[in-house]
Chain A
């Protein structure tokens, strides 16, 4: 009985493998994978909206190389393992020309080996962990990386917030959080500061009072929370309850409307670094904000949306410069990108395939994000 079933399964697998290849059309298929649902849904939704807007604008202007772009989007539900499946399907079954994604470094890392071995260029809009582009020469990003972001926040804490002793509260489940914490610590120590305590939490936890009480006992001048917005909001609320009144600040994982929705007055006055602010941009930035508002019912774009837009635009530009949609040629064109006029600033792709870009610091004021300053690399 076993044998029968086993061999039928084997046989079916073989038959199934003689599968058909996709026929090419007059479109350029571009794959996108994002966390449209799940814990970090706002990230995926924002970046998707930005990407979609870009694709629509490009197609309205005649497409690229005379062909329209077909955006194929897959949702990974913010879950580990799903991105690999999604990208595998996009690359091997749908034969996409390039992959756009993801916001979260861990999910970009899942997809990168697949893109690299398949020679399909991947552009991440906002994954900041250095390991993403280290995977291979087909992996790019249009944002800064955490060594830079960590230093930015470290200097901000030391010089602007005048903090001498800082506590770091890390999400041990997220490599983004751990990476950013490490770089912040290096930067802060270099700037002459002192780290009084380093504690951890598990992303998704709801109770932080134990750790926050311990942090308070260490008498820090500030607390760095390099995590994601949901946890950051709850941490700020509970910090207030245990009487931790020093400034709390974080990185681009904080950027979401949910931060103020959940955190309410507990997040007032907190700071975080990110890639972009609607108030910081030039003419191109303003045009983008207007177009985004028009397309999405008056919503203001956040950094993920802007970067999603830029990643699609840079891809289109690279295809144009390469004169073809073939993987290796597009890759070379991407690597040669210089001073591309993007919404989030001028983008030059450096030798590590990262973008040398400035960071902006935002503060939560009256439930909105107020632009404080830009820090160049």
Chain B
């Protein structure tokens, strides 16, 4: 039983990170109806931003302290928000009227560009770098169960951010505009909504969330390298689809479920090899049998 509970804790902590990243995917899909392949790379850029920012900030505010962590996280999120908006402006906006496939291919191109430029020796280099300690780490032991203080922070902050997102989308004017654009772009613009600004805003938030997710991920596994975003990005995407793409609570639920599945499967001998394959198999199964996801609604295609 202990084993089960421990895995539960492990899975939840991992799932919270996936949920954060999945939020970004789902928000962008909601507004633009396309999967931003480059999202996983923004996650990586967030981690690297933190890597470079941490030493100067730490020398002013102290290594591994709460103020340092806060400042680094906020700054990295802000940097990635700007990066996300820039990508949207340069690569996706000009293709707004083109077929979906064109944008998808472009997104793949952007993703590969960021990954391979990052791997170049003069940029980040392909070797793994040690991620700095941002928060003091304490072991929390309750009976036979243990978790790291980092895990608690991650789960807590994720919950707070999810609530904040929900609040923004459901209760503010900006959120209403976002929902309007996701419903019907043309009608929204006729109603006076500045569609371009809303889309930029969505990308900014999504990218900021990805950056934070990337930093949390690196706190768990303190080795960062330019391709680090690929696996978690893919998992988070599957999580978003699992929960119902375009649906915020769905993304959170999907993230948690996927984190749990991955952790439990990982711990079973014989099955751990197939971890990668299982995530994909799950995706295919959802798309076959319940394409709207757990919490989503099926959308009929108008001719």
Contact = CB atoms under 8 A, between A and B. Distances in A.
A200 B271 CA distance: 9
Contacts of B11: 210
B222 A209 contact: no
Contacts of B2: 217
A209 B3 contact: no
A262 B6 CA distance: 25
B263 A210 contact: yes
A214 B223 contact: no
A172 interface: yes
Contacts of A214: 3, 7, 266-269
Contacts of A298: none
A262 B276 contact: no
Interface in B210-227: 217, 220-223, 225, 227
B119 interface: yes
Given A258-B127, A262-B222, A213 B217 contact: no
Given A209-B14, A230-B128, A234-B223, A241 B269 contact: no
A235 to B, nearest CB: 10
Given A172-B273, A217-B3, A207 B119 contact: no
B139 A230 contact: no
B265 interface: yes
Given A209-B10, A242-B146, A200 B267 contact: no
Interface residues of A, number: 37
Nearest to B260: A210
B127 A42 contact: yes
A217 B128 CA distance: 30
A242 B221 CA distance: 13
A242 to B, nearest CB: 7
B7 A234 contact: no
A210 B267 CA distance: 5
Given A210-B262, A210-B264, A213-B267, A241 B272 contact: no
B217 A206 contact: yes
Interface string B54-85: 00000000000000000000000000000000
Contacts of A209: 10, 14, 263, 266
A38 interface: yes
Given A37-B119, A213-B6, A202 B267 contact: no
A198 B221 contact: no
Interface in A166-202: 172, 197-202
Contacts of A206: 217, 220-221, 223, 228, 231-232
Contact of A213 (B10, B121, B148, B262): B10
Interface string B149-187: 000000000000000000000000000000000000000
A201 B221 contact: no
Nearest to A211: B266
Contact residue range for chain B?
A: 35 or more
A199 B130 contact: no
B275 interface: yes
Interface string A217-233: 10000000000001001
Contacts of A261: 130
Contacts of A205: 231, 275
Given A199-B272, A206-B228, A241-B139, A262 B130 contact: yes
Nearest to B261: A210
B283 interface: no
Given A197-B269, A241-B148, A243-B146, A213 B128 contact: no
Nearest to A217: B3
A238 interface: yes
A204 interface: yes
Interface string B1-36: 011001100110010000000000000000000000
Given A200-B273, A214-B268, A207 B223 contact: no
B126 interface: yes
Contacts of A230: 128, 223
Nearest to B223: A262
Contacts of A208: 266
A41 B126 CA distance: 8
Contact of A207 (B6, B14, B127, B227): B14
A264 interface: yes
Contact of B269 (A38, A198, A238): A198
A207 B262 CA distance: 10
Contacts of A159: none
Contacts of A172: 272-273
A237 interface: yes
A201 B126 contact: no
Nearest to B150: A241
Nearest to B217: A206
Interface string A29-40: 000000001110
A205 B141 CA distance: 26
Given A204-B231, A206-B217, A234-B221, A262 B128 contact: yes
A206 B2 CA distance: 24
A233 B141 CA distance: 23
Contacts of B266: 199, 201, 207-211, 214
Contacts of A233: 223
A234 B224 CA distance: 11
Contacts of A198: 269
Interface string B109-141: 000000000010100011111100000000101
A205 B276 CA distance: 10
B126 A78 contact: yes
A209 B227 CA distance: 21
14 contacts: A38-B119, A38-B126, A77-B126, A200-B273, A206-B221, A209-B10, A209-B14, A210-B7, A210-B265, A211-B266, A213-B6, A214-B268, A230-B128, A237-B221
Interface of A: 37-39, 41-42, 77-78, 172, 197-202, 204-211, 213-214, 217, 230, 233-234, 237-238, 241-243, 258, 261-262, 264
Given A210-B267, A243-B139, 6 more contacts: A200-B272, A206-B217, A206-B223, A210-B10, A213-B267, A242-B10
Q: Which 5 A-B pairs have the closest CB atoms?
A: A210-B266, A214-B267, A206-B221, A210-B263, A209-B10
